[in-house]
Amino acid sequence: MIQADRRTFLKLAAMSAASAAAHRAEGRTTALPQLDGAGIQWHKAPCRFCGTGCHVQVGVEAGRVVAIAGDREAEVNKGLLCVKGYHVGMVLYGKDRLTQPLLRRGDQHVPISWDEAIDVIARRIVRAPERFAFYGSGQWTIPEGYAAQKLMKGGLSNNHIDPNARLCMASAVTGFLATYGVDEPAGCYDDLDACDVVICWGNNPAEMHPVLFSRIVDRRSRGQRVRLIDIGTRRTRTTDQADNYLEMKPHGDVAIALGILALLRAQGSWDRSFVDKHCAFRALQAENTTLQGEAITFETWSERIAAYTPDVVERLAGISQDDLQMLAKLFADRSLRITSLWCMGVNQHTMGTAVNSLIHGVHLFSGHFGRPGDAPTSLTGQPSACGTVREVGTLAHALPGGRLVAKPEHRAQCEEAWNLPEGRINPKPGHHTVKMWEQFTTPAADGGDIDTIFVQVTNPGQTLPNLPLLFDRKQGQDDKFLIVADAYPTATTRLADLILPAAMWVEKNGIFGNSERRTQQWFKMVDPPGQARDDCWMTIAIAHRLLELGHPGMKDKDGRFLFHVEDEQGNVVPIWQWEHYYDVNVDKALFEEYRQLTRMKHKDLAPYEEYVKARGLRWPVVQQPDGSWRETRFRFSGVDDPYVEQGRDIQFYHSVTGDDRAQVWFYPANPPAESPDGEFPFWLCTGRVLEHWHTGTMTRRIPQLLRAVPRAYVEMHPADARDLSIANGEFVAIESRRGRVELPVWIEGRGAPPRGSLFIPFFDETALVNRITIDAYDPISKQPDYKKCAVRVRRLSNGNAVR
């Protein structure tokens, strides 16, 4: 079965593309006529791609996007973009856009009407509401995520809603919660302008957050000094500009963080006054562990941390004792401003919560916190992982505004805000992502309790780990029904039973929330092609069809529809009918409702109209006595955060201990889920490249980006290639215990892994690396580890012929 995977996939992809193509409107595949630019209008929008949250200016002429420029008004990017951003307008114009709903009949996808499509979904849900799951995304706009959240938890009393962000930043969330009692970074990008030292923990911002990276290194062009330290498992473009490169063993980050803490403690060079005033100590319980763990004394913490001496760290992490001393010395120096950056290397980790907490711990214990430039800053990969997932709470256990389904008072607050009868919201958390897909692909007879999944704005058929187990098993199970809304045919639509054509980016209104707590709004600028429609409309239309079918959850206490929207005259607008969806600004209506829920955790959002005027505002956005709205750059910091009591320098006002203290954690360094052995002797790390974004469904349709990196490859050390007699460019098979993938080898390419280590980017749907990754996850955050598993390399008999 595994041997045939790639061929089967290509065949299936071709098949679904062919059936989609057969129904495509005439002339859709030819290039659009060129306009002269005379009638161009410029609008603002955040970029569609990563979590940096750059603003672009979108040039629109005759109903089409014809140009893009960096937005000089935007504080994030100050007029500059990356190559993806400059080409973001082209995401709308791929030749194979999906333009009508397609239902699987046998091995064909046949076009059906939107009314039929919505009816099929609603009936599928009504049949067994508790077996339905909604799989969303950090690319959902805030109103889209909010609508999905309200439909599931408020309407269907069903908590099986989880986003792809579970695969991306769930460990960052648990790290923040365990440390500060509230999610999301205290600092912001301004720290990058003010810091003296940047430490990248398993992070390659030169490629993944290029605009932030150039914001740092361009300081050097202006004569400023900023020291860049790259702690990583392979050399990257970030290494190239780094002052120090500390090559660690995979999983070594836990030991490095512990080692810094141990040295600060042993040398007495921690910040006593900061720790005495603002910190407490914590560790996991001996058994029945929880996210909050248990309080321990400073003495206990000191005893446990003392085990991580430089020689132990050298053995565990592979970095030299001198390098560890160097890091400890930097943190011991209070005159420096130190910013830590991390992203997937730390998050996609079976000890993700631990490393996140320990990095925060290093900053807190050394007092490098709360002054501009002194910040532990976690970066996100998706444009609204923060805004939609973490703030709206579209996770199986969460409710909007940092609330939890398990807490009665939080449920009551949401029921009140949504005007729902008491007890409507289900107190039991739903399935997290890995569990959801495991249940979906497990036959009902074997206990699989999910039989319908609606996927919006994401591509799990490519991004789930261990695809043979978590996705491919769906094939042939006709009682399982997969609904996928997307703009293009993807690795997920290949197994979809119902494909819905989605409007994207500036084809709809939207609001994103980026990595630095910045909420960003844009307006619809062009029409989507064919019958493509907004994801938010789909959710509302399904809810209304459920109402028509008599589902009691679609009404509030007073018998009104869950998504009741009135116009200025007080008339109900039938927004579930597409032709009336843009009669009002549905985004604004949903956002104004949602924003009332944001204040409990002091994540206050301003009225919608404030975001129309701004290039995003960082929450908490607090109204001033003169009526204006003021954003917050440095949270918990007396210099800036309006919620810190007057006269205090730092106040962790959501402390889990209720005494305004943050938690400095201890975690023991445990081994990874799988390590190389005789049979599978190589480490495999997966990740991204600058030119492609995530699964490449958008960037692979942009010729300038595709030509730059046409396909996935495997990076290998030249000595390993020589030992295996593999030439540069030769196709090889990479095999793990779970599957196999064939790729060309690229030696001395974009990155350079050390001996015994491989790297493969995951953007390429024709070479699905997640067929071989492991589905082991962090026990607290449930986020899988895509960064390490054991594989072997096999030469192919025709490895050189394939190219």
Looking at residues 216 to 255 of the shown chain, list those that interact with another protein (rule: CB under 8 A).
Answer: 217-218, 220-221, 235-237, 239-241
Q: Contact 232/202 with Cβ under 8 angstroms? A: yes
* Paired sense of beta strands 375-378 and 227-232, if any: unpaired
Residue 639, interface with another protein (CB under 8 A)? Answer: yes
* Cβ(738)–Cβ(468) below 8 Å: yes
Q: Based on the shown chain and the rule CB under 8 A, indicate whether residue 605 belongs to the binding site for another protein.
A: no
Interface residue with another protein among 112, 752, 776, 796 (CB under 8 A) is 752
- 631 interacts with another protein by CB under 8 A: yes
- Least distance from another protein to the Cβ atom of residue 339, Å: 15
- Tell me if residue 168 is catalytic: yes
Q: Which position among 202, 345, 381, 510 bears the catalytic label?
A: 381
Q: Which amino acid is at 516?
A: E
Among 89-97, 166-174, 340-348, 663-671, the segment contacting another protein (CB under 8 A): 89-97
Report the length, in residues, of the chain. Answer: 803
* Member of 590, 617, 664, 780 binding another protein (CB under 8 A): 617
> Under rule CB under 8 A, which residues in 24-83 are in contact with another protein?
28-37, 40-44, 57, 59, 61, 64-73, 75, 79-83
Q: How do 197-201 and 161-163 pair as beta strands?
A: unpaired
Does residue 610 interact with another protein by CB under 8 A?
Answer: yes
CA distance 50 to 139: 9
Contact 343, 642 (CB under 8 A): no
Residue 637 beta carbon to another protein: minimum distance, rounded to whole angstroms: 9
Tell me if residue 565 falls in helix, strand or coil. coil
Which is the catalytic residue, given 47, 54, 82, 169?
A: 169
Distances, alpha carbon 110 to alpha carbons 97, 117, 489, in Å: 16, 11, 14
525 belongs to the binding site for another protein (CB under 8 A): no
Q: Which amino acid is at 631?
A: E
* Angle 772-777-780 from CA coordinates, rounded to 5°: 170
Q: How far apart are CA 263 and CA 623, in angstroms?
A: 44
* 344 is an active site residue: yes
- 50, 70, 84, 175: which one is catalytic? 84
Using CB under 8 A as the binding rule, whether residue 614 contacts another protein is answered as yes
Strands across the sheet containing 498-501: 108-111, 102-105, 498-501, 481-486, 452-456, 132-136, 161-163
Question: According to the binding rule CB under 8 A, does residue 331 interact with another protein?
Answer: no
Residue span binding another protein (CB under 8 A) among the ranges 196-204, 245-253, 500-508, 612-620: 612-620
User: CA-to-CA distance for 242 and 105, rounded, in angstroms?
Assistant: 55
Query: Does position 395 bind another protein by CB under 8 A?
Result: no
* CA–CA separation, 498 and 487 (whole Å): 13
Q: Residue 204 and residue 751: Cα distance in Å, rounded?
A: 10
Q: Mark whether 651 is an active-site residue.
A: no
Catalytic residue among 57, 139, 348, 382: 382
Catalytic: 554? no
User: Is position 460 an interface residue for another protein (rule: CB under 8 A)?
Assistant: no
Q: Is 277 in the site for another protein (CB under 8 A)?
A: no
CB of 726 to another protein, least distance (A): 10
Token pair for residue 793? Answer: 């390399």
479 lies in the site for another protein, by CB under 8 A? no
Binding-site size for another protein (CB under 8 A) equals 105
Write out the two tokens for 392: 């709206």
Type and span of the H or E element at 211? helix 210-221
> By CB under 8 A, which span of 138-146, 281-289, 512-520, 633-641 interacts with another protein?
633-641
Catalytic residue list contains 381:
yes
What DSSP string describes 115-173?
Answer: HHHHHHHHHHHHH-GGGEEEEE-TTS-HHHHHHHHIIIIIIS----EEEGGGGTTHHHH
382 is annotated as an active-site residue = yes
Q: Supply the minimum distance, in Å, between the C-beta of residue 509 and another protein.
A: 14
Interatomic CA distance for residues 471 and 473, integer angstroms:
5
Nearer to another protein (CB atom), residue 83 or residue 404: 83
Interaction between residue 609 and another protein (CB under 8 A): no
Among the residue ranges 173-181, 276-284, 573-581, 627-635, the one whose residues contact another protein (CB under 8 A): 627-635
Looking at 188, 208, 344, 436, which residue is catalytic? 344
Residues with catalytic roles: 84, 168-169, 344, 381-382
